[in-house]
Amino acid sequence: MESHLSPPEKKKRVFSLIQPTAMPTLGNYLGALKNWKEMSELNDCIFGVADLHALTVRPEPAVFRRQSLEIFAMLLSIGLDPEKNIVFVQSRVEQHAQLAWILNCYTQFGEASRMTQFKEKAAAHEENVNVGLFAYPVLMAADILLYNSDFVPVGEDQRQHLEITRDIAERFNQLYGRTFTVPEAYIGKVGARIMSLQDPAKKMSKSDLNPKASVSVLDEPEVILKKFKSAVTDSEACVRYAEGKDGINNLMAIYSCCTGRDFPAIEKEFEGRGYGDFKTAVAEAVIEELRPVRESYLSLMKDSGYLAACIDAGCGKARAIAAKTLAKVSKKVGLLV
């Protein structure tokens, strides 16, 4: 009997990497990582550790190796299932570096030199303005294009890099026929922009020199409570979202992300109560939000054999896709394949 059922709709491929420079903050988690698990359930997802990108700052080798393993474990800890998704380490898939060189030859010097992030980092690190830093967006383009990625979740600081990726892909496709999928920015659930607890005018950052300014996803509960109790607020002592109340607005955003309550509900909950009560409540909500992540991470880090097996399996899956793309590109440009 002939079936009239339509074939299941193919899932869209979402690709993203994270650098292993330091353990993610609460801001990284609520702004991006928390949503990766949801993405992974709805899409064909490839996530990984961008260790090649991190070489631009010349990390200390032993620390760097440990951090790369820790970030891989963190990706699993946030709920990414290595059986259902590809979770891998960038440097273990040699096609990234190989495609990056080919794409360097299809990227104009002028367009690469216009990258805002290169200008900012070059100005901040004048003692080490290396070619890798300049070519960073081309390696990022290779990362994305190797996997025929449909979507890439990017923040505002990376949007320009996605645009040059699209330009490179379109240029190559025009020269050699359709080869690359031209990726788009992933517009899904918008993560909150979490600000510093000590200076709510700037984004929470893992590089902040003030230890009270940011919360790590691995901070102990008592440390989290102490940091929130010292968070900067204002003198009004009224929990409400309003212009000029940056500290309270930030705490309300964090509480909203962790509890699912909107701002009017939060204002009603804390009506007539002081900032002390509110800060404690926010800290407790954060502690509960991060508890399963932290417990999973600590358990995984004790099982080096399992982590190594997951890395091997993930890199094997990634390499199988990347090798096909690189072979196709190599043949089109005339390399002996």
Domains of the chain: 13-191+303-333 (3.40.50.620), 221-299 (1.10.240.10)
Active site residue 203: yes
Quick one: average pLDDT of 233-260? 93
- Assign 123 a pLDDT band (cuts: 50, 70, 90): confident
pLDDT at position 3 is 47
Examine the pLDDT at 27 and tell me if it is beyond 80. yes
pLDDT at position 159 is 81
Is pTM beyond 0.75 here? yes
Active site residue 206: yes
pLDDT at position 8 is 59
- Among residues 12, 37, 121, 317, the one annotated as catalytic is 121
pLDDT at position 5 is 52
Select the more confidently predicted residue: 123 or 140.
140
- Among residues 12, 37, 203, 317, the one annotated as catalytic is 203
Buried b or exposed e, range 69-96, using 16+ CB within 10 angstroms: bbbbbbbbbbbbebeebbbbbbbbbebb
Coil, strand, or helix at residue 328? helix
Query: Rounded to a whole number, what is the largest CA-CA distance in the chain?
Result: 75
Quick one: average pLDDT of 167-182? 96
- Assign 229 a pLDDT band (cuts: 50, 70, 90): very high
Other C-beta atoms closer than 10 Å to the C-beta of 163 total 15
Query: Which phi and psi (to 5°) does residue 49 adopt?
Result: -100, 120
pLDDT at position 311 is 97
- Write out pLDDT tens, residues 73-119: 999 999 999 999 999 999 999 999 999 999 999 999 988 888 877 77
Distance CA 166, CA 162 (A): 6
- Assign 1 a pLDDT band (cuts: 50, 70, 90): very low
pLDDT at position 240 is 92
pLDDT at position 57 is 85
- The pLDDT mean for the chain works out to 91
- Write out pLDDT tens, residues 183-219: 998 866 656 789 999 999 999 988 888 999 999 999 9
- Assign 7 a pLDDT band (cuts: 50, 70, 90): low
Active site residue 279: no
pLDDT at position 75 is 96
- Among residues 11, 84, 119, 206, the one annotated as catalytic is 206
- Assign 121 a pLDDT band (cuts: 50, 70, 90): confident
In this prediction, what percent of the chain has a pLDDT beyond 70? 96
